[in-house]
Amino acid sequence: MNSPPTFVPDEPNVFRAELGVSQEVGRNALSIRCPHCRELGSFNPVGNPRSYSKRGKFGPNTSTSTYYASIRICPNVKCRGLVFIIEDDNGPVEIEPPQLLDFNPDGLSPRLQQTLKEAVACHGAGAYRAAAMMVRRLLEEICDENKAAGTNLHQRLVSLKTAIILPEPLFEAMNELKALGNDAAHIEAKAYDNIGADEAQDSIELAKEIVKALYQLKGLIARLQARKAT
Ligand SMILES: [Zn+2]
C-alpha cells in the first residue's frame, strides 16, 4: 500500500505556522505605503494580531522564530484598504498585497496608465524582469503616442528628447539600463537574466521622470498659462 505523498516545501514559508503557538499580542502601528491607494500611512491592526512560532526562514532550521500575523487597515478614509502583514521582532517580513512604488498617473492616456501600473505591480510582486519589460513597453508606447520615430528604442528616445525637457546626463544614463538596450538583440530574454530589484526600480523611476516631463509638467505649465490669460 502506498503512503500518501508528503508535502515538503523547498523553502520554509512564513505564511505557514509550523509550531502553531498562538496568542494575542499587542502590536504598534506600522508605517507602510498602502498597496491600494499608494499613500504612506500608519496602519493599525484590526482586532488582535496573533503570534506564531516556526522554524526560522532566515536562520538554521533548528532555530525557532516568533512571527506575528495581523490584518491592518489603511488610515486614508477614502481607501480603508485591508493588508495582511507578517512581522518578526525587527519589522514586516511579508506584506500582502505588496507595497508598491509610488507613481502618478495624472495626464497619462488609459493605455500608458495601465502599462505603468503593471510595471509597478510586477515590481511589487518581485517579478523584476517582467517589470523591466513593462517599462520598455511603456517607453515604446510613449514614443508611439508622441510620434518619436527611429529604428530602435534608443533612437526613438533620442527623437523624443526634442519634445521634452530632461537633463542630458539622464538621457545618456538610460543606456546603462539593460532592459532598454539599444538594439534588437538586447531585447531578447538573455538581456533580462540579471535584472534584479534595483534595476527594475531604476527603470520605473526613469520612466516616471519621462512621464513627468512629457505629460505632467505640461499640464502644470498649461494651468499656469491659463492663469496668466485670465
Ligand atoms: Zn490606502
Total number of domains in the chain: 2
Grid coordinates in use for 144?
Answer: 508611439
| Ligand 1 centre distance from Cα of residue 94 (Å) | 17
Output the CA–CA distances (angstroms, integers) from residue 70 to 84, 105, 123, 153, 173, in the order listed: 6, 31, 24, 45, 42
Domain boundary among 96, 123, 153: 96
| 137 and 73 share one domain | no
Domain coverage including residue 89: 23-96
The residue among 183, 176, 122 whose CA lies nearest residue 155 is 183
| 136 and 84 share one domain | no
| 174 and 66 share one domain | no
| 222 and 119 share one domain | yes
The pLDDT > 90 percentage for the chain reads 13
Q: How far is residue 103's CA from residue 100's CA, in Å, rounded to a whole number?
A: 9
Q: How far is residue 130's CA from residue 193's CA, in Å, rounded to a whole number?
A: 11
| 181 and 221 share one domain | yes
The dihedral region occupied by 110, where left means phi > 0, alpha psi between -120 and 50, and beta the remainder, is: alpha
- Residues 76, 34, 84: CA angle, nearest 5 degrees: 110
| Ligand 1 centre distance from Cα of residue 75 (Å) | 7
| Ligand 1 centre distance from Cα of residue 37 (Å) | 4
| Ligand 1 centre distance from Cα of residue 80 (Å) | 6
| Ligand 1 centre distance from Cα of residue 99 (Å) | 10
- Residue 183 confidence (pLDDT): 45
Query: Residue 115: which CATH number?
Result: 1.20.120.330
Interval 179-227: pLDDT, tens: 665 444 455 556 667 788 888 888 899 888 888 888 888 778 888 888 8
- Supply the DSSP symbol for 21: -
